[in-house]
Amino acid sequence: MFLDHFKSACEEKGLKIVPVIEACGGSKGKLDGWKKGKNPDSGFVCALAEYLGVSTDRLLLGKDLFNAEAKEIAQEWMQLDERGKAIIKGEILRRLEKLSEGVSDGQEETASFLRDDEPIADIIEFKQRLPVLGRSAAGTPLDMVRDDYGTVPDRDKGGTFAVIAVGDSMIDVGIKDGDYVVIRQQPTAENGEIVLVAVEDGSTIKRFYRLAKHVELRPCSTKHPVQKYGPRDSFRVLGLVVDVISPAELNA
């Protein structure tokens, strides 16, 4: 349960949960909702994870799925040319085998494919994946409800997480209903960039423009209106859209 994982992460840092929630722009009302079983929106989970210095997996699942050293090894491998891979492959495999000793529950899948002696390319593919944190509107703002949405491949675009697009307001730039939209988590954006933003208790994907007195979120479809937010409105950039993956590509 999210609340239990969140409490545990706060306790590890010696922090109280309500001040952490407030520091991330929330209120005690969010805590009351979680106690009643309401799921947190993914944008706020990202804010909490960044504040606590933990992964979103730690808050949502109670454990980190991937060991930090294993991620580093995977990144080293991806940066090598073919000759370099041939030279270094033995060393990388040796280090991965070492990681498999005394593996924790959160790394059980990693250990299983190491025992099966699968090729290094499959090891890299396993590690280079991003969590899908929920659904976000490519239309009017939508509450991003956390559920088990699985993962998508990280296609080396610098993504942090992904959301599932709902609606057709961004169809002219190739974001269709049901697509997986990969987000690079960042708090700011330049005019004209396509972003994921948190608005009120929901989220939406739009083209961003900051004007003199307000922010405009512009759709990429003539069917939908421009959304405007002033300084008193609840508004926060969650990240930049860096990739779009269709369900057909995942199933290919």
Q: Give the residue numbers annotated as catalytic, written as ranges.
A: 169, 206
Backbone angles phi, psi at 223, to 5 degrees: -80, -15
- Rounded Cα distance between 2 and 209, Å, is 34
Nearest to 57 by CA among 142, 144, 130: 130
Position of tokens 């706020």?
Answer: 44
Cβ(18)–Cβ(31) below 8 Å: yes
- What the block records as the tokens of 97 is 């085998």
Q: In Å, how far from its chain's centre is CA 60?
A: 11
